[in-house]
């Protein structure tokens, strides 16, 4: 294509046209002059004619070039259109790709969540038989559901009653110091050694609950002096053992 330093085709065409105009005017003036003056024409008219012919051929060449340039320009336009179409196609595909990626990402995320919950459920899975057995056990002893014939005044409770507490292992352990060691394990002697303040069995709820009618009155009379229930000592013994393991979690 024409370099930037050269004049554009349009300019050259126009300048050639100007030259032609000037030359032909000159020629006509010379001819008019020579007719008037009847002088033998100098070689100038041939020069002018030559220049005229030259300019004419230049003009034709430039026109041809202009036509060629026009054709190329059209081709360029059509190619540009094609390019634009391709560009928009690419953008369309890009949008679809983005959408697809988004959908897939969501699907993958949800699948991962699902897997996590499956794992969690599997971890906590217990055989249904065991659950049923456990359900039987806690229902049979009326620990979670009151017996159908329960009335206020019935000593049964959803928690271990004082009687039950004292007749358990902990209750027996606390009986040691007054009864003497009777074949229990060395671990219990620790409990035996520290029994000071628990010996006062003044359970404060005994007096206040008689009015309720929900709690059986025998709670008030059950506790004799000397044997309390627990081994809060024993508990303390355990807590000192375990506090070293559990205190670090504080």
Partner 1 sequence: METEEQAKNRFQSELEFVQCLANPNYLNFLAQRGYFRDKPFVNYLKYLLYWKEPEYAKFLKYPHCLHMLELLQYEHFRKELVNAQCAKFIDEQQLLHWQHYARKRTRLQQALVEQQQQHAQHQPPHSNAVPK
Tokens of 211: 């009015």
205 binds partner 1 (CB under 8 A): yes
Q: Contacting partner 1 (CB under 8 A), which of 80, 91, 94, 243?
A: 243
Q: Contacting partner 1 (CB under 8 A), which of 3, 39, 121, 144?
A: 144
Which long-range contacts (C-beta less than 8 Å, at least 24 apart) are formed by 231-237? 231/170, 231/173, 231/174, 231/191, 231/198, 232/198, 233/174, 233/191, 233/194, 233/195, 233/198, 234/170, 234/173, 234/174, 234/188, 234/190, 234/191, 236/194, 237/190, 237/191, 237/194
126 binds partner 1 (CB under 8 A): yes
182 binds partner 1 (CB under 8 A): no
For partner 1 (CB under 8 A), the number of binding residues is 56
187 binds partner 1 (CB under 8 A): yes
Within 10 angstroms of residue 14's Cβ, the number of other Cβ atoms is: 13
250 binds partner 1 (CB under 8 A): yes
210 binds partner 1 (CB under 8 A): no
How many angstroms separate the CA atoms of 200 and 69, rounded?
A: 118
Quick one: 40 or 196, whose CB is closer to partner 1?
Answer: 196
175 binds partner 1 (CB under 8 A): no
13 binds partner 1 (CB under 8 A): no
Coil, strand, or helix at residue 194?
coil
DSSP state of 144: S
Residues that bind partner 1 (CB under 8 A): 124, 126, 130, 134, 137-138, 141, 143-148, 150, 157-161, 165, 168-170, 173, 185-188, 197-198, 203-205, 208-209, 212, 214-215, 219, 229-232, 234-236, 238-240, 242-243, 245-247, 249-250
């Amino acid at each position: 294509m024409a370099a930037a330093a050269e004049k554009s085709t349009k300019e050259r065409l126009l300048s050639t046209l100007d030259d032609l105009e000037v030359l032909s005017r000159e020629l006509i003036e010379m001819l008019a002059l020579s007719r008037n003056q009847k002088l033998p024409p100098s070689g100038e008219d041939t020069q002018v004619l030559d220049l005229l012919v030259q300019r004419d051929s230049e003009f034709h060449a430039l026109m041809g070039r202009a036509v060629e340039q026009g054709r190329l320009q059209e081709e360029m336009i059509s190619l540009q259109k094609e390019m634009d179409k391709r560009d928009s196609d690419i953008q369309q595909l890009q949008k679809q790709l983005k959408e697809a990626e988004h959908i897939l990402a969501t699907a993958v995320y949800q699948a991962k969540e699902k897997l996590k919950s499956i794992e969690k459920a599997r971890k906590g899975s217990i055989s249904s038989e065991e659950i049923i057995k456990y359900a039987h056990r806690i229902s049979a002893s009326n620990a979670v559901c009151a017996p159908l014939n329960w009335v206020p005044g019935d000593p049964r409770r959803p928690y271990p009653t004082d009687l039950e507490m004292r007749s358990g292992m902990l209750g027996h352990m606390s009986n040691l110091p007054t009864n003497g060691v009777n074949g229990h394990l060395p671990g219990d002697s620790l409990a035996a050694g520290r029994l000071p303040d628990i010996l006062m069995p003044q359970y404060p709820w005994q007096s206040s609950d008689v009015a309720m009618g929900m709690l059986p009155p025998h709670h008030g009379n059950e506790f004799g002096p000397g044997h309390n229930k627990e081994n809060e000592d024993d508990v303390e013994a355990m807590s000192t053992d375990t506090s070293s393991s559990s205190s670090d979690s504080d």
